[in-house]
Amino acid sequence: MIRFAVVFPHHTNHIPIYTDGPMSSFPTINGGIVSQKPYTSNASFLHSTNEMECGVRWAYSWRVNPLNSWTLTFNAITTAEVKTLEDFFNSICGRYGTFTFTDLLDSSVHTNCRFDQDTFEVSYQEPHKCSVTLKIQEFSQ
């Protein structure tokens, strides 16, 4: 198995984080495919809990809507499809750029998303057959 990684340094003097242009959308591959199975999504809620010594407990929600995260798995894609994903990853500078993502489960569009990783790793299983796993997280502004 051969692995390649694109690593972005933490100093980004030459990389624009926010631009005034249109926001990028997560690309589709091979006829509109966003991910292969297994596809996982997770919702996280920000809350505080106050527990008193007498046994009374209060919980407060800090956010009305949860923040979502997704793990996209591509187990059997071609090198051309890897290039499409890698070009998108590089164009938004990994974790530093933002994009829109459409959830596969409910078709909801999430506008404040970014990658939850700084490296783009490709595993070559056979000639022209690769696997890639990408982690995406939604963030609040």
Proportion of the chain above pLDDT 90, given as a percent: 1
Residue 68's pLDDT band (cuts 50, 70, 90) = confident
Mean pLDDT of 8-34: 55
- Residue linked to tokens 């006829």: 31
Q: What is the pLDDT of residue 8?
A: 45
Q: What are phi and psi of 83, to 5 degrees?
A: -65, -40
Q: What are phi and psi of 107, to 5 degrees?
A: 60, 25
- Could you give the CA distance from residue 99 to residue 110 in angstroms, rounded to a whole number? 9
Q: What is the pLDDT of residue 33?
A: 60
Both tokens of 88, joined, read 């998108």
Residue 3's pLDDT band (cuts 50, 70, 90) = very low
pLDDT digits (tens, 9 = 90+) for 126-136: 887 888 888 99
Residue 141's pLDDT band (cuts 50, 70, 90) = low
- Pick 81 or 18 by higher pLDDT: 81
Domain ranges of the chain: 25-138
Contacts of 113 (CB under 8 A, 6+ apart): 26, 98, 99, 100, 101, 136, 137, 138, 139
pLDDT digits (tens, 9 = 90+) for 70-119: 888 888 888 888 888 888 888 888 888 888 888 877 888 888 888 888 88
